[in-house]
Each structure stands twice: as structure tokens, then as C-alpha cells.
Amino acid sequence: MRTLILSIIVVSVMACNTRTQIKENPEKNDAESEQLSNQNIDSTAYFLEESLELNQEKTKSIKVERLITTEDDKNKLQELVIAKKFFKEEDFYILDYQYPYLNEEVDSNYMMFNDFLTENYLNIKATENEILEDKVIFCDSLGIGRCMDKRVIDYKVYAIKSNLISVLLYKENYYSGMKHSTYMFECLNFDLDHHKFIYYNDFFIENSEKELLTVINSTISNGIKSGELFYECWELSVEDFKMYKNNFVVNDDTIEFYFDDCIICPSYTGTYSIEIPITEIMHLIKKYNNKPLIGVNL
């Protein structure tokens, strides 16, 4: 009899414990489920962010490769355009420049182009001071012991017949702490016969800006709709067009306007330039409107 009573008590205690566990488990399971759910959300967000970064790196590489591999006229202009190099490495920065130099043995007046380029784009001392000033502000504020910046300049050159050259200078800047390097552009059009630089107002007819901006934005808009090249890009503003309207190069068939990063596209996607067939805007070019471009016969 005693054995039976003890057996009943044991079973009762076990049943109580089971009920207690069943009663307590829902709360524990809810907490665990919420924690697991948060972990899943965090993991998903992490993988989405990582996937986005990988995709941005890929599109950035494609964008830069298109720029670098674009063919120009360097080979056929070797006698006229000499490639010059400058390299300097210090503790906090690297300067790696390749730039065009017009052969003054062909024409001594090409010195005007060379001096202009040196003064405006190859001011090494000013660049060094700018980098070091940025180091004081940026590196100290982030507590970074060693910051390394890099400035790279390279170029493309295009020839129109024998009297006009177009030079594209592209400048790549690696800033410490930034995810992507940035690109900036300068375009120089030079009249070889009259030794003068050609600007927008020399090349295009008066009051052509509004229509040309419309053509550029139409090209961008069509690119955005295609979904291939211009995703996350936007149309060019009137103010930015005024600032960049001299930033164009000319070849036999097209005129190409170049824009710095984040002017029409973010740094990681899109394009740096808008290429327009000359046949599409002939009515905006002086040469084709019986208003010859002084000193230039395209």
C-alpha cells in the first residue's frame, strides 16, 4: 500500500513539473523566437548590405574600365603629343601623374599649352598642402594613426584633322576612409594653328545652351529607362551644365561631355560622360551654320 501511495505522489510531482514546464515554456519560447527573429533580420540586413556593396564594387569597376579602355588617338599623335610622367611617394600620400606635353620642337608656340597645363593642373606644392591639411582635419577627428591618400592623373587625346586637339584629363582621388575612389575631369580643346584654347562659346552658336541641355538630359533619361547603364542616375541641372559646359572633347563623329562623380550619377554606377553624335546637333555648331570657328576647320 505504501508503495502504491509513493508511486502516486511521484507521478503527481512529475505531472506538476510537466505542467509547470508547459506553463513556463510559452514565455521562454516567445523570447527565444523574438531573439531568433531579430537575429534573422540582422543577418538578412547584413547579407543585403554586403550584396549591395559587392554589386556597387562590380558596377564601379565596369564604369572605370570603360573610361580607361576607351580608344583615343595617342598612337597616331606620338610626334605631336609626348607623354610625361611624375611620381612621388611620401608617408601620407602618393602622386602618380601621366599628362600630355605638346612637342615644342614641332612648334615653339605650343609652350602656351604646356605652361597652362603645368600651372593649372600640375601644381604639386598646392596639391601636397591640400592633402596635408585634410590629414589634420580628417585623420585626427577619426583617430586614425596613418592615413594614405593617392592622386592619379591620366589622359586621353583626340585629333580633329590637323589643327584641333581635344584632351581629356581624368583625375582619380583615393581619400582615406572613403569606400570608393572619386573621379574628376577636365577637357582642353586647343587650336594648333592659332595657339589658343577653344571654349563652349567658340564652338557652339549663341544661346544654344538650353537646347543642348535638353539633348543631354534626353540621352540620360533614355539611359535610365533602359535600366542598363544609368540606374540611380539623374538628369543634369541647369546650374551644373553651366559649370561643366566647357568640359567636352571632339572627335570625328561625336562630341562627349564629361562630368565629375555625383553630378549625373553616383560614384559606383552609371557613366562619366554623355556622348552625342555630331549629326544630332549640327545646327548648334558654328561650323555648320556659316559661322566658321575662328582658326579651326573641322
Please report the pLDDT score of residue 3 as a whole number: 39
Tell whether the model's pLDDT for residue 229 goes beyond 90: no
Closest to 215 in 3D by CA, of 278, 152, 161: 278
Across the range 98-120, mean pLDDT stands at: 96
Main-chain phi, psi angles of 293, to 5 degrees? -70, 120
Please report the pLDDT score of residue 132 as a whole number: 75
Q: Which residue has the cell 577653344?
A: 198
41 or 78: which leads in pLDDT: 78
Please report the pLDDT score of residue 196 as a whole number: 96
12 CB-side CA count, 13 A: 6
Tell whether the model's pLDDT for residue 138 goes beyond 70: no
Across the range 82-111, mean pLDDT stands at: 94
Across the range 263-270, mean pLDDT stands at: 91
Distance CA 246, CA 257 (A): 8
pLDDT digits (tens, 9 = 90+) for 23-56: 445 555 555 555 555 555 555 544 455 555 667 7
Distance CA 260, CA 272 (A): 7
**What's the pLDDT band for 141 if we cut at 50, 70, 90?**
very low
Distance CA 267, CA 68 (A): 15
Q: Which residue has the cell 501511495?
A: 5
Look at 1-15, 37-51, 218-232 and tell me which has the smallest mean pLDDT: 1-15
DSSP assignment letter at 288: G
**What's the pLDDT band for 190 if we cut at 50, 70, 90?**
very high
The pLDDT mean for the chain works out to 80
Tell whether the model's pLDDT for residue 5 goes beyond 50: no
Please report the pLDDT score of residue 147 as a whole number: 63
Across the range 285-292, mean pLDDT stands at: 75
DSSP secondary structure, 99-122, as one string: EEEE-TTT-GGGHHHHHHHHHHH-
**What's the pLDDT band for 243 if we cut at 50, 70, 90?**
very high
pLDDT digits (tens, 9 = 90+) for 166-177: 999 999 998 776
pTM of the model: 0.77
Please report the pLDDT score of residue 60 as a whole number: 87
**Which runs of E-coded beta strand occur in 1-92?**
81-89
- List, in sequence order, every residue forming a beta bridge with 277; answer none if it has no partner: 254
